[in-house]
C-alpha cells in the first residue's frame, strides 16, 4: 500500500495510553489538529456524544478502548459498558465493539479490534474499486474516511482504491450540513490523498446528476438491517432517490461490524436526534442525524467479505467476530 504523506495514522485518530483514551478532536479539523485525553469511560462517552470522535467504526473502536481503560483502572466494567453504549444510538458498531470486548476487556483486544477495522477497510476498498466506472465522477456524502473508521476509510477507502487503479476523475463532496463532515473532513482527506474533488452544497447534488456529472454515489453506513435497509447520515435517502431517478448506482461500503441482523428492516433502526441548536441557534429546528435508505434503492453493499447484491437478506454475511 502506498504511504501517503500527511495521512493521519490510525493511532493518531484514536489510541489507548496507560491512563487515557486519546482521540484526535474531529470537531476542530481541518483548521486545528488537537488531541483530547479521555481519562474515563464517561469522558470517552462524552467524546463520542459530542462527535470529537465520530464515524460508526471509529466510535466502536473508541468505546472498545474506553472499556479497556475502565477495566485497567479498576472501574466497574458493567457501568462503563452501559455509559459507553448509551453515548449514541444509531451506529451498531458501538454495541458490536462493546460486546466483543466484554468477555476480555483488555488493551490487546481493543487494539486488535482497531487493527481489524482498518484491515476490513482495505479489503472493502479492493472489493469496491471495480464497481467504480472508468473516469468516474463520484459523489459522496458526509465522511466515511479514515477519520470515521479509525484508519483508511470505508466509502473514502473505496474511492482511494479506485483512484489508485486510475478509475476516478473527480469526487463531488457533499458538505453535509449541519456539522459539515464532508466539507471539513472528507475534503481534507481527499486533499491529503491527492484526489481531485470539489465541495458542493447538499442541495447541488440534484443538478449535478441532471447534468450527467455523476457516475456513481458511494457512501458509508451506520447500521444495515437484515434486508439491506441502511441508516446513514441525514440526506443519504434523498441522494438515493435522486440517484434512482437519474439511473445512477448507489454503493454502500461498510464493514460487517455495521450489520445488524437483529433489525429485520430499517424501521427497527434507532435514529439519533441531536440538539436543534446544531441546525439553528435562533429558530426552532428538527435535527435527526441519520435517515434510512430502503434496500431497493441500493445497487450494492460492499463489506470486507465482498460485493453483496439483491436480495440482501440472502447475500449479506453475518457480522464478524473479533479475533
Ligand atoms: C464509516 S461510518 C461513517 C458514517 O458516520 C457518519 O455519521 P457521524 O459523523 O454522525 O458519526 C456518517 O453517517 C457516515 O456515513
- Residues of the chain within CATH 1.20.120.420 domain(s) are 10-120
pLDDT per position as a tens digit, 202-221: 999 999 999 999 999 999 99
* Mean pLDDT on 99-109: 98
Mark whether 222 is an active-site residue: yes
- Residue pLDDT, tens place only, 174-185: 999 999 999 999
Mean pLDDT, the chain, as a whole number? 97
Indicate whether 14 pLDDT > 70: yes
Strand ordering across the sheet containing 20-24: 14-17, 20-24, 35-38
Q: Is 47 in the pocket of ligand 1 (CB under 6 A)?
A: no
Binding site as annotated, residues for substrate: 54-56, 88, 181, 232-233
Report pLDDT for 318.
86
Annotated binding site: 54-56, 88, 181, 232-233
ipTM of the complex: 0.98
End-to-end CA distance of the chain: 23
CB 248 within 8 A of CB 215: yes
Q: How far apart are CA 282 and CA 247, in angstroms?
A: 39
Give which of 174, 148, 145, 150 is closest to 161, Cα–Cα: 145
pLDDT of residue 301: 98
Distance from Cα 56 to the centre of ligand 1, integer Å: 6
CA of 52 to the centre of ligand 1 (A): 12
Tell me the per-residue pLDDT of 42-81, one tens digit each, with 9 for 90 and over. 999 999 999 999 999 999 999 999 999 999 999 999 999 9
> Average of pLDDT values for 214-232?
98
Long-range contacts of 181-185 (CB under 8 A, 24+ apart): 181/54, 181/142, 181/143, 181/148, 181/233, 182/140, 182/141, 182/142, 182/143, 184/29, 184/30, 184/143, 185/26, 185/29, 185/30, 185/143, 185/145, 185/147, 185/148
Q: Tell me what the mean pLDDT of segment 85-103 comes to.
A: 98
**Positions of CATH 3.40.50.10470 in the chain:** 124-322
- Say how far residue 21 (Cα) sits from the centre of its chain: 20
- Cα–Cα distance for residue pair 93/82, rounded to 1 Å: 15
The residue-averaged pLDDT of 299-314 equals 98
User: Which atom of ligand 1 lies closest to the CA of 143?
Assistant: 14
pLDDT confidence tier of residue 6, bands split at 50, 70 and 90: confident
Find the mean pLDDT for residues 191-207. 98
Q: pTM for the complete prediction?
A: 0.98
Of the chain, the percentage scoring pLDDT greater than 70 comes to 99
Predicted local distance difference test score (pLDDT) of residue 90: 98
Pick the residue whose CA is nearest to atom 15 on ligand 1. 220
CATH topology (fold) of 124-322? Rossmann fold (3.40.50)
Which CATH class for the 10-120 domain?
Answer: mainly alpha
Q: Is the distance from the beta carbon of residue 222 to the nearest atom of ligand 1 less than 6 Å?
A: yes
- Determine the pLDDT at residue 2: 60
Q: Does any ligand 1 atom lie closer than 6 A to the CB of residue 120?
A: no
Separation CA 222–CA 92 (nearest Å) = 7
Peptide bond into 311 cis (omega under 30): yes
Res 3 pLDDT > 80: no
Q: Is 55 in the pocket of ligand 1 (CB under 6 A)?
A: yes
The predicted pLDDT at position 323 comes to: 74
Residue 321 pLDDT > 80: no
- Checking if the pLDDT of 1 tops 60, the result is no
The predicted model gives 263-279 an average pLDDT of: 98
Q: What is the mean pLDDT of residues 247-271?
A: 98
User: How many angstroms separate the alpha carbon of residue 26 from the centre of ligand 1?
Assistant: 12
Amino acid at each position: 500500500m502506498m504511504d501517503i504523506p500527511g495521512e493521519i495514522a490510525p493511532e493518531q485518530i484514536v489510541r489507548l495510553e496507560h491512563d487515557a483514551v486519546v482521540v484526535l478532536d474531529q470537531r476542530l479539523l481541518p483548521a486545528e489538529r488537537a488531541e483530547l485525553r479521555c481519562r474515563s469511560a464517561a469522558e470517552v462517552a462524552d467524546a463520542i456524544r459530542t462527535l470529537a470522535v465520530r464515524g460508526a467504526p471509529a466510535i466502536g473502536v473508541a468505546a472498545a478502548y474506553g472499556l479497556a481503560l475502565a477495566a485497567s483502572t479498576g472501574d466497574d466494567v458493567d457501568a462503563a459498558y452501559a455509559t459507553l453504549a448509551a453515548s449514541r444510538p444509531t451506529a451498531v458498531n458501538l454495541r458490536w465493539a462493546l460486546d466483543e470486548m466484554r468477555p476480555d476487556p483488555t488493551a490487546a483486544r481493543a487494539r486488535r479490534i482497531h487493527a481489524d477495522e482498518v484491515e476490513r477497510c482495505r479489503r472493502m476498498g479492493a472489493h469496491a474499486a471495480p464497481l467504480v466506472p472508468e473516469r468516474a465522477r463520484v459523489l459522496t456524502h458526509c465522511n466515511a474516511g479514515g477519520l470515521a473508521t479509525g484508519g483508511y476509510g470505508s466509502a473514502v477507502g473505496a474511492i482511494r482504491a479506485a483512484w489508485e487503479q486510475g478509475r476516478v476523475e473527480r469526487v463531488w463532496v457533499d458538505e453535509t450540513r449541519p456539522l459539515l463532515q464532508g466539507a471539513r473532513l472528507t475534503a481534507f482527506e481527499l486533499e491529503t490523498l491527492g484526489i481531485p474533488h470539489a465541495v458542493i452544497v447538499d442541495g447541488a447534488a440534484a443538478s449535478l446528476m441532471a447534468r450527467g456529472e455523476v457516475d456513481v454515489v458511494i457512501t458509508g453506513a451506520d447500521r444495515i438491517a437484515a434486508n439491506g435497509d441502511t441508516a446513514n447520515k441525514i440526506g443519504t435517502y434523498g441522494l438515493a432517490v435522486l440517484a434512482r431517478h437519474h439511473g445512477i448506482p448507489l454503493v454502500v461500503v461498510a464493514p460487517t461490524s455495521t450489520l445488524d441482523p437483529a433489525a429485520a428492516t430499517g424501521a427497527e433502526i434507532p435514529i439519533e436526534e441531536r440538539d436543534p441548536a446544531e441546525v439553528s441557534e435562533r429558530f426552532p429546528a428538527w435535527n435527526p442525524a441519520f435517515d434510512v435508505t430502503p434496500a431497493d434503492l441500493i445497487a450494492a453493499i460492499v463489506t470486507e467479505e465482498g460485493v453483496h447484491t439483491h436480495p440482501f437478506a440472502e447475500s449479506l454475511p453475518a457480522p464478524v467476530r473479533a479475533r
